[in-house]
Structure 1
Amino acid sequence: MTIIQMMRAGALAVVMAGSIGLALDVSQAQERPVAGKTINGPASWYGGKFHGRKTANGERYNMNEMTAAHKTLPFGTKVRVTNQRNGRSVIVRINDRGPFVGNRVIDLSRGAAAVIDMIQTGVVPVRIDLL
């Protein structure tokens, strides 16, 4: 397929998506997960005011489930998140987009944050292992 053909195919996808009311945001394209890949950085958590609202993948957010928001990992991806301050870890499923604050790499549900003991701290350094 030539570059011109690829561009036309992409334009067609955008036009078709627009005609059925879908918005495509290429800045948040999902990256293909690679098992064993590690991401390090600060994590935060979200809860109360989002409980019951729809997540980016369309399901209802339950702050007590083991879920998380990530900017680019595909929905359904499972990752192990380890609090680097205390060594505690939790396995979560990506079901939302974010975080959109500073350099944070993941936003955990309240339930997942409780497992790794970060509720009071709010933001902690973590290691994320793609499973």
Structure 2
Amino acid sequence: MSQRNFRRAAFALSTLAFTAALPTLAQAQCGSASWYALTSTTASGERMNPAAMTAAHRKLPFGTKIKVTNAANGKAVVVRINDRGPFAKGRILDLSKAAASKLGFIRAGHTKICLEAVK
């Protein structure tokens, strides 16, 4: 095996091992969500943009896209995980202000949601 092919194989194996260790969203998850509109840096290193369709989740990998559905009105959006949180007890997701607006719960501040992986 050439040095180049060996490096490719080693990279592929390390990527596979890393990917297998990440948590995934195998089934829908339901719970409470809130929104936030800070202008600080997120855990992924991005600047928080309240106008972006993003969210904070405790364990899902950065870059994961999920579909979030508001249980109260049936509205749904697709967001990308770019931060860690929420840190409020009982919440499973923090959404950007833009995502919360499209889901229709800006005024309430929090709502019941269900989230599922986007393939």
Do they superpose with TM above 0.5? yes
How far the C-alpha of 1:31 sits from its partner, in A, is: 4.0
User: Aligned residues, how many?
Assistant: 98
How far the C-alpha of 1:120 sits from its partner, in A, is: 0.3
The 5 A counterparts of 1:45-124 are 45-47=35-37, 50-51=38-39, 53-124=40-111
Amino acid at match of 1:32: P
2:23 counterpart SS class: coil
User: What residue is the counterpart of 2:6 in the other structure?
Assistant: none
Give the TM-score, by structure 2 length: 0.79
Give the TM-score, by structure 1 length: 0.72
In 1, Cα distance between equivalents of 2:96 and 2:22: 21
| Structure with the higher strand share, 1 or 2 | 2
1:7-38 deviation per Cα after TM superposition (whole angstroms, max 9, x unaligned): xxxxxxxxxxxxxxxxxxxxxxx84224x521
| Unpaired segments ≥5 residues, structure 2 | 1-20
| Unpaired segments ≥5 residues, structure 1 | 1-29
